[in-house]
């Protein structure tokens, strides 16, 4: 059955007043782990939306002291996008996706019985797409993460920590200038550099551990076997025809467990 907007949305709406400065909006976005705030008047009526992308204007246009001062005094109500784009909670999610595409917008306010009840964003729709997978026993290519976080050997460890935290990744692949894989830095590897001084000086090349590689067509059983035998939590997936090329993905214990927990998995039948 087609998923509805209300199945994917984030319930509830976090609002700010129209007179909130851009600096304060940035603080609220970070505090609340949000990408956008809904701007509302004192009676709660929705006036517009201000996203983290809109906030880029503050940096973009502050090219001199005068411009910086103008941008510092600008408010959410002045920079917000209006009118507010909305969808009905009972609308199919794919229709909401189409509305986002045609309107060039990343989020929509969800309305039910004339009242705003939540927000649906591209991230919510993307998350729902990850669940659309065929039934059956999977192999590494079906389960691995194809999008991977990479850095160079000389990358400071504090930058690696920031990237892992921002992207919510638990490891980073270290590559050379040609994209060839050299090793992996995991959260565990970073524990050794926990002291402030150590982290400031260290690089990814120092912290990385030797990687284990696996073919995309290997079975999940083979992957699990390799992880257990070598006590590695993740494997780098490489094309056997191009061993030295940029890897095609990574597979972790989490990916395999996530697959086992999926309703269509043989483990749930």
Partner 1 sequence: MPETSIGMAPQGQAERAKFEQELQRIVAAGDAARLTLRVLGALAFRTHCPQFGYLQEKMGRSYTDIDFAAYARDSKGIRALMAGLGYAEDKEVFVVSEGSRAIFENPQSHIHVDVFYEKLDFCHVIPWNGRLEMDSPTIPLAEMVLEKTQIVQINEKDVIDMIMLFLEHGLGEDDREIINIKRIAKLCAEDWGLWRTVSMNLEKIDKLAQNYDTLNSEHKARVSSQVGEALRLMEAEPKSMAWRLRARVGDRVKWYKDVDEVK
Chosen residue from 20, 71, 76, 110 binding partner 1 by CB under 8 A: 71
Q: How far is the CB of 52 from partner 1 (least distance, A)?
A: 12
Contact 39, 50 (CB under 8 A): yes
Structure tokens at 30: 């970070």
Does 26 contact partner 1 by CB under 8 A? no
Q: Which of these segments, 4-12, 24-32, 79-87, 201-209, binds partner 1 (CB under 8 A)?
A: 79-87
**Cβ closer to partner 1: 22 or 93?**
22
Does 263 contact partner 1 by CB under 8 A? no
Q: What per-residue string of b and e applies to 11-28 under the rule 16 or more CB within 10 Å gives b?
A: eebebbebebebeebeeb
Q: Which of these segments, 56-64, 161-169, 198-206, 217-225, binds partner 1 (CB under 8 A)?
A: 56-64
**Cβ closer to partner 1: 67 or 123?**
67
Chosen residue from 66, 114, 196, 241 binding partner 1 by CB under 8 A: 66
Chosen residue from 18, 74, 117, 161 binding partner 1 by CB under 8 A: 74
Q: How far is the CB of 235 from partner 1 (least distance, A)?
A: 39
Does 70 contact partner 1 by CB under 8 A? yes
Q: How far is the CB of 110 from partner 1 (least distance, A)?
A: 23
Q: How far is the CB of 58 from partner 1 (least distance, A)?
A: 9
Residues in the interface with partner 1 (CB under 8 A) total 15
- 10 Å Cβ neighbour count for 183? 18
Q: Give the separation between CA 229 and CA 179, rounded to whole angstroms.
A: 28
Cβ neighbors of 117 (< 8 A, separation 6 or more) are 6, 9, 11, 12, 13, 89, 110, 111
Chosen residue from 41, 78, 239, 244 binding partner 1 by CB under 8 A: 78
Q: What per-residue string of b and e applies to 149-168 under the rule 16 or more CB within 10 Å gives b?
A: bbbeeebebbebbebbeeee
Contact 22, 71 (CB under 8 A): yes
Contact letters for partner 1, residues 98-137 (x by CB under 8 A):
------x---------------------------------
Chosen residue from 6, 37, 54, 97 binding partner 1 by CB under 8 A: 54
Contact letters for partner 1, residues 81-100 (x by CB under 8 A):
x-------------------
**Cβ closer to partner 1: 51 or 139?**
51
Strand blocks (E) in the chain: 10-11, 15-17, 36-40, 46-51, 86-88, 107-112, 115-121, 150-152, 171-175, 181-186, 213-214, 234-237, 249-252
Cβ neighbors of 251 (< 8 A, separation 6 or more) are 140, 143, 144, 145, 214, 223, 234, 235, 237
Q: Give the separation between CA 250 and CA 233, rounded to whole angstroms.
A: 11
Contact residues for partner 1, defined by CB under 8 A: 53-54, 56-57, 61, 66-67, 70-71, 74, 78-81, 104
């Amino acid at each position: 059955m087609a998923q509805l907007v209300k199945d994917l949305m984030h319930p509830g709406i976090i609002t700010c007043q129209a007179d909130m400065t851009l600096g304060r909006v940035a603080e609220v976005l970070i505090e609340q782990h949000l990408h956008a705030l809904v701007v509302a008047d004192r009676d709660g009526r929705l006036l517009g939306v201000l996203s983290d992308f809109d906030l880029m204007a503050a940096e973009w246009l502050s090219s001199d002291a005068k411009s910086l001062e103008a941008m510092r005094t600008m408010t959410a109500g002045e920079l917000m996008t209006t009118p507010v784009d909305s969808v009905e909670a009972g609308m199919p999610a794919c229709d909401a996706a189409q509305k986002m595409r045609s309107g060039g917008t990343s989020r929509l306010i969800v309305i039910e019985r004339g009242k705003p009840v939540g927000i649906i964003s591209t991230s919510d729709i993307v998350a729902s797409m990850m669940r659309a997978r065929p039934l059956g026993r999977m192999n590494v290519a079906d389960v691995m993460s194809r999008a991977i976080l990479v850095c160079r050997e000389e990358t400071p460890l504090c930058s690696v920590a920031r990237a892992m935290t921002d992207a919510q990744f638990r490891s980073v692949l270290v590559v050379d200038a040609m994209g060839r894989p050299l090793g992996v830095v995991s959260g565990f590897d970073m524990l050794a550099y926990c002291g402030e001084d150590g982290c400031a000086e260290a690089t990814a090349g120092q912290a990385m551990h030797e990687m284990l590689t696996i073919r995309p067509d290997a079975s999940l059983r083979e992957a699990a076997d390799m992880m257990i035998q070598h006590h590695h939590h993740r494997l780098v997936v490489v094309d056997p025809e191009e061993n030295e090329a940029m890897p095609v993905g990574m597979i972790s214990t989490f990916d395999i467990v996530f697959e086992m927990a999926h309703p269509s998995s043989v483990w749930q039948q």
